[in-house]
Amino acid sequence: MSMVIFLRILIGLFGTLFIVFTFWLGAYFHLNVSTKIVIVLAFALAAILEEIVIAIDNLEKRLKIAFQSLELPLREQIAINETIMLYNKLKKGKSDIATKIAIEDFEKIHILLKQAEKGGDFIFHDIYAAKLIALKELKPGAVI
């Protein structure tokens, strides 16, 4: 059982007990009906505020699942969002050869990342860039 469901059940049980307790105490202390209603409505307002807090917490969790880039540093988030906006803009607007080549390479990035994540083989066409990355990873004194 998730924490949210447990919290909702707990508040529901306490709410029911609180309402019964309010009417019992109202009869014991001879409170008028309007006082009892105000007390019950105050608890109802607290329960509504609790639901709002739970909803906001769930929304934050769902947004982080839906938008994985939120886990990245701000600079990387901005770069990824700009890249997606450029991709969408080019896909909708231009149809020249350079744009088609750029879109094709962008779509290959997804395949490249999936292969790298699986630890599989992939073809990297920019040999110069690949060698620079490999050189950056070398430790002092390592032999190529």
Question: CA nearest 110: which of 90, 129, 83, 85?
Answer: 83
- Mean local confidence (pLDDT), 85-95: 85
In angstroms, rounded to a whole number, what is the distance separating the alpha carbons of residues 86 and 103?
10
**pLDDT for 42-53, tens place per residue?**
888 888 888 888
In angstroms, rounded to a whole number, what is the distance separating the alpha carbons of residues 40 and 64?
37
In angstroms, rounded to a whole number, what is the distance separating the alpha carbons of residues 71 and 91?
27
The whole-model pTM stands at: 0.46
**From 37-46, 100-109, 131-140, the region with the lowest mean pLDDT:** 131-140
Q: What is the pLDDT of residue 62?
A: 85
Other CB atoms within a 10 A radius of the CB of residue 114 amount to: 11
Sign of CA dihedral 89, 93, 96, 100: positive
pLDDT at 126 over 80: no
In angstroms, rounded to a whole number, what is the distance separating the alpha carbons of residues 38 and 44?
10
Q: Which pLDDT band, with edges at 50, 70 and 90, does 141 fall under? A: confident
